[in-house]
């Protein structure tokens, strides 16, 4: 189980994540929601160990991740928000490098890489330089890199970004399948419909603070709202969206 206990992160004294506590359990898909700048990606980066917490603790299976960060990283797979890759490598070269860095035996790595590339429809372009890949193809490389070592904890930061409809449907089913197989899955997304469909629980963050943590069904009944979109709008959207759209149009018309 992944647990965050009163985790905060301050940048130059300004809180990006403020006293956030929640847990994500094995076998469950936990959706992590929030508007831009609410601290979602910062939280996920803290969970990966890429940035340090200012205060609080992150625990995985009851142990602080700082106690043995290397052992923790072996069990974690991460898809970052932006598809930044080494552009001078090809897809297969990148995945082979990740496999080597993770210490996966070459034969097993080769088998898994080939399989993942075929299933993700990247096999024909596996030797092409990543610089030529579309955003969706890059996203698929990231997903393959995150999963090829069969992690126990899967962290997905906006994983649907750039994917075509077919690939997005596959990923949606894959997330559910990973949870069914006992993995801890935490994923952030702006696609509320998808989050509503596949998440067992949702956590909503607003201005670095946790404003909701429950199952979608319970949130719907508690807040007496019909959809997750309505709940999210109530909790995390401050401005009147229609009025703002009108203001923008007025500004460029003037």
Tell me the three-class secondary structure of 33-82, residue by residue: ECCCCCCHHHHHHHHHCCCCCCEEEEEECCEECCCCHHHHHHCEEEECCC
Tell me the three-class secondary structure of 135-191, residue by residue: HHHHHHHHHHHHHCCCCCEEEEECCCCCCCHHHHHHHHHHHHHHHHCCCEEEEECCC
Query: Which one of 1, 6, 67, 74 is in contact with another protein (CB under 8 A)?
Result: 74
CB of 116 or CB of 198, closer to another protein:
116
Closest C-alpha among 159, 95, 157, 103 to residue 127: 95
CB of 52 or CB of 250, closer to another protein:
52
Query: Which one of 22, 32, 60, 133 is in contact with another protein (CB under 8 A)?
Result: 133
Query: Which one of 14, 36, 52, 70 is in contact with another protein (CB under 8 A)?
Result: 70
Burial class, 174, CB count within 10 angstroms (exposed 0-12 / middle 13-18 / buried 19+): buried
What is the Cα 213 distance to its own chain's centre? 17
Using CB under 8 A as the binding rule, whether residue 131 contacts another protein is answered as yes
Query: Which one of 80, 136, 159, 208 is in contact with another protein (CB under 8 A)?
Result: 80
Using CB under 8 A as the binding rule, whether residue 220 contacts another protein is answered as no
Residue 83 to residue 143: CA distance in whole angstroms? 10
Using CB under 8 A as the binding rule, whether residue 10 contacts another protein is answered as no
CB of 187 or CB of 232, closer to another protein:
187
**Size of the residue set binding another protein (CB under 8 A):** 38
CB of 138 to another protein, least distance (A): 11
CB of 26 to another protein, least distance (A): 21
- Choose the stretch contacting another protein; rule: CB under 8 A; options: 23-31, 45-53, 158-166, 239-247: 45-53
Query: Which one of 10, 126, 207, 209 is in contact with another protein (CB under 8 A)?
Result: 126
Closest C-alpha among 186, 235, 216 to residue 77: 186
Query: Which one of 30, 41, 48, 199 is in contact with another protein (CB under 8 A)?
Result: 48
């Amino acid at each position: 189980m992944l647990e965050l206990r009163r985790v905060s992160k301050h940048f130059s004294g300004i809180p990006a994540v403020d006293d956030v506590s929640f847990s994500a359990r094995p076998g469950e898909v936990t959706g992590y929601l929030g508007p831009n700048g609410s601290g979602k990606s910062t939280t996920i980066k803290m969970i990966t160990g890429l940035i340090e917490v200012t205060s609080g603790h992150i625990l995985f299976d009851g142990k602080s991740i700082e106690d043995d960060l290397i052992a923790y990283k072996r069990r974690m797979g991460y898809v970052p928000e932006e598809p930044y890759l080494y552009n001078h490598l090809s897809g297969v070269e990148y995945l082979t490098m990740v496999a080597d860095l993770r210490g996966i035996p070459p034969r097993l790595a080769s088998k898994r890489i080939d399989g993942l590339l075929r299933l993700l429809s990247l096999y024909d372009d596996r030797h092409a330089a990543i610089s030529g890949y579309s955003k969706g193809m890059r996203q698929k490389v990231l997903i393959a890199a995150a999963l090829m070592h069969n992690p126990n904890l899967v962290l997905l930061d906006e994983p649907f970004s750039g994917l075509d409809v077919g690939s997005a449907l596959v990923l949606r089913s894959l997330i559910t399948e990973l949870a069914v197989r006992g993995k801890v899955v935490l994923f952030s997304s702006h696609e509320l419909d998808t989050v509503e469909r596949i998440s067992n629980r949702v956590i909503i963050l607003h201005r670095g603070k946790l404003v909701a943590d429950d199952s979608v069904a319970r949130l719907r009944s508690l807040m007496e709202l019909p959809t997750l979109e309505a709940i999210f709008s109530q909790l995390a959207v401050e401005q009147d969206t229609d009025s703002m759209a009108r203001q923008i149009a007025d500004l460029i018309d003037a």
